[in-house]
A and B are shown apart, each in its own frame.
Chain A
Amino acid sequence: MTTQVKLARVLNLLALLALLGVLSGSLHLQFGQGEPPCPLCLVQRSGMIALAVGPLLNLFTGIKVRNYAFAILAACVGGAGSVRQILLHIATPGDPGYGPEVFGFHLYTWADITFLIAVVGISILLMWPGQFTANDRGLLGTPGVMRVLTITVAAWYLIYLIAMTIFIIPMCGIGMCPADPPETNYLPSNGAWLAIGGAGILSLLIGIISNSRMRRR
């Protein structure tokens, strides 16, 4: 394995961690501050989840152009949702926007910035041919810290995804999701951070156990 592949893996992992941070913030708002996601927010969440698929495939199955291409498509879909929501609130005079502001921007604006950074970042990465020439087959066959971290991050995403899916049912029922869902406090603010930290610790345990079991085989 070349140094370029190693560096590409680290960059993919860092991108996944940054996305996890954004998703953690949105889940904290939902469960800790009682701000349920609107239908357009769910589109953006779906885009963020899809955006993580490309880098995860790069780490699990090897660095491939098609994985980066999928991530760009995902960023375009998620970006369409966030641009739609930004325009919706711009076009309505006196509209204060949906949900709370974080560092001066609404979450859908931050989501749009995230998708834009993803498209630019992946485009720059695609200009770097060295990572594709090594015929990388993924890091699952290579025990070590990177494998532990990769499985940890993947498990963390899966836990978030399951939590999001479960809480869609009480919010939307079996019909269309309400455009402005009522506030529902599931946890106190600190409790939500503890739950997010707990999900991280559980994922780390899954990563460490999976790494050691793969080594034994």
Chain B
Amino acid sequence: MHVLWIFLVWIVVFAGIFWRQRWVLPLGIVGLIATVVFLKMNMDSTIPLNF
């Protein structure tokens, strides 16, 4: 997954805040999950700190 998509999700979330849309929090949760996936994808070092 490309990090660009995460930031595009946040742009949509912020646009949703301006228009007080109900889907802002659910889409925000999607953004958070995508961020965790991106974090996991970058745990590629050999040190014993990966989860």
Contact = CB atoms under 8 A, between A and B. Distances in A.
Interface string B34-51: 011011011101011100
Interface string B1-24: 011101110110111011010001
Given A49-B10, A50-B28, A57-B25, A88 B49 contact: yes
A39 B28 contact: no
A172 B2 contact: yes
Contact of B31 (A46, A138, A162, A165): A46
Instruction: Determine chain A's interface SS by DSSP, over half rule.
Output: helix
By CB atoms of chain B within 10 A, which of A53, A168, A174, A176 has the most?
A53
A138 B20 contact: yes
Instruction: Determine chain B's interface SS by DSSP, over half rule.
Output: helix
Given A39-B3, A50-B35, A168-B4, A158 B11 contact: yes
Interface in A35-93: 39-40, 42-43, 46-47, 49-50, 53, 56-57, 60-61, 66-67, 70, 73-74, 77-78, 80-81, 84, 87-88, 91-92
23 contacts: A39-B38, A40-B42, A43-B39, A46-B3, A46-B7, A46-B10, A46-B31, A50-B10, A50-B32, A50-B35, A53-B14, A53-B28, A67-B25, A78-B35, A80-B39, A91-B48, A154-B14, A158-B14, A161-B11, A165-B4, A165-B11, A172-B2, A179-B42
